Amino acid sequence: MTVFAVLIAVGIPAVFLCVIYTLDLYASRTFQLVLLCFAWGAIGGLGLSFAFNQYVALPLIVELELSILVLYVVFGPIAEELLKSLWLFYVSRRPEFTYFVDGAIYGFAAGIGFSITENIIYLTAYPDLAMGMALMRAFSTCLMHGTAAALVGAAVGRFRFRQRSGQRVALVGGWAAAIFLHAAFNGLANVPALTESPLGAVVNIAIGLGGVGLIVAFIVVGLREERAWLAQTLDLATVRVTDAEVQAAQAYGSIEEVLKPIIKKFPQEAEQVQDLVLLQAQLGIKRKVHQRLADVTLQQQLDQEIAQMQARMERLRKDVGWRVMIYLRRVFPKEALDVWSRLEVLAARSGTPDLQKWVQMLEARPGSPERDWRSTVSGRLSEADQD
């Protein structure tokens, strides 16, 4: 087993996780919870699955004189998909879990954690095949594990607003989809006609990459629904958000482009303006979640979080200052060729907004060194067109 093979087996799945993680534009989930899900999959989920397969499934297969294939297409998929997603029960009770986009990301993290530890086990067992195995598993098996767990997380998030019976049905459905995907993948991996030809590798990689594409599609659909929530829930009477600010929050992915004239006039307040728009987007989503929750405890938790977000919005408005707020709301009226109208135009023109460009700013806290606005926004002002 070479160091390079280990780097491939760990690094490539981790890169896919980072890409999926950054796609959630209106992120309420925390990196800490994502790491906890990853750790559960890597340690808890895999450890329990290994114990089940070793001490329950294999002895039963031997006793019943069944084919070892039963382990790969029946016992293994059932045990692994149930156990590696157990942590989602805890995460789904957290206020940071707002929608099925979050569930898909948490689940994907657990699956990738599981697969990375499994990679290390396989590389240790077959050191002579380390390089080829690391590459193959990184683009196939690892992504299958991530996708399967993400299906469970998405199902939990999608139906968490239903009655308990509906939640149970959703959970069973998510598990069934994950188990079927896992069993089908393992079954195809054991078909002699495929394993003895390059076609087998192509099929496995296609399933892995196709699974990632499916999760990306889930996230895109989720973001569209979350944008629709914003206009419904940013109540002007209770949170003092103007129509212009609602439109800004809805088109947050393209906001750098349209804030150029504002940043040029008020460069010192640029970061606070961006923080304010993001906070309003998150607030709208939280309020929509609150409306749909049936769980009183979760409603109370969200009440506290919403109150804290409203207080932060007021502080940001004060930090930005009345001159900037007047400039935002009056100098750029909604009816004119202004910042807010341009947000909608840019969003429509670009289709899916560029969700990657704001990753660094979304993840860093205001005022931290990594929030370098001059390199990401202000540094490009010289290229801005004069509107």
For 97-124, write each residue's pLDDT tens digit: 777 788 899 999 999 999 999 999 999 9
Q: How large is the average pLDDT for residues 186-199? A: 86
Q: How large is the average pLDDT for residues 277-288? A: 68
Contacts of 234 (CB under 8 A, 6+ apart): 241, 245, 246, 249, 280, 283, 284, 287
Q: How large is the average pLDDT for residues 231-260? A: 47
Q: Taking Cα atoms as reference points, which of 96, 31, 23, 17 lies closest to residue 363?
A: 31
Q: How large is the average pLDDT for residues 143-161? A: 87
Tokens of 373: 């606005």
Q: How large is the average pLDDT for residues 24-50? A: 84
CA dihedral (126, 131, 136, 142) in degrees, to 10, reads: 70
Residue 169 vs residue 274, higher pLDDT: 169
Distances (CA, A) of 372 to 24, 271, 322, 358, 365: 21, 9, 24, 11, 11
Structural contact between residues 137 and 122, judged by C-beta atoms closer than 8 angstroms = yes
Q: Taking Cα atoms as reference points, which of 149, 137, 135, 150 lies closest to residue 186?
A: 137
What are the structural domain ranges in the chain?
3-228, 234-383
Confirm whether pTM is higher than 0.75. Answer: no
Weakest mean pLDDT among 16-25, 35-44, 245-254: 245-254
Q: What's the pLDDT at 162?
A: 60
H runs (alpha helix) in 85-163: 87-91, 100-125, 130-139, 141-158
Residue 31 vs residue 68, higher pLDDT: 68
Q: Is the pLDDT of residue 35 over 80?
A: yes
Structural contact between residues 244 and 276, judged by C-beta atoms closer than 8 angstroms = no
Q: What's the pLDDT at 258?
A: 52
Give me the long-range contacts of 177-180 (CB less than 8 A, separation at least 24): 177/148, 177/151, 177/152, 178/77, 178/81, 178/85, 178/148, 178/149, 178/151, 178/152, 179/77, 179/78, 179/81, 179/148
Length of the chain: 387
Q: Which residue has the tokens 């929608």?
A: 99
Q: How many whole angstroms separate alpha carbon 97 and alpha carbon 104? A: 10
The overall average pLDDT reported for the chain is: 74
Q: Is the pLDDT of residue 125 over 60?
A: yes
Print burial letters for 357-377: b (CB count within 10 Å at least 16), e (below 16).
bbbebbeeeeeeeebebeebb
Q: Is the pLDDT of residue 29 over 70?
A: no
Residue 259 vs residue 155, higher pLDDT: 155
Q: Is the pLDDT of residue 223 over 90?
A: no
For the segment 326-384, what is each residue's pLDDT rounded down to a tens digit? 655 544 444 333 333 333 334 344 444 443 443 333 334 444 444 443 343 333 323 33
Q: How large is the average pLDDT for residues 169-196? A: 90
pLDDT band at 265 (very low <50, low <70, confident <90, very high): low
Q: What's the pLDDT at 2?
A: 80
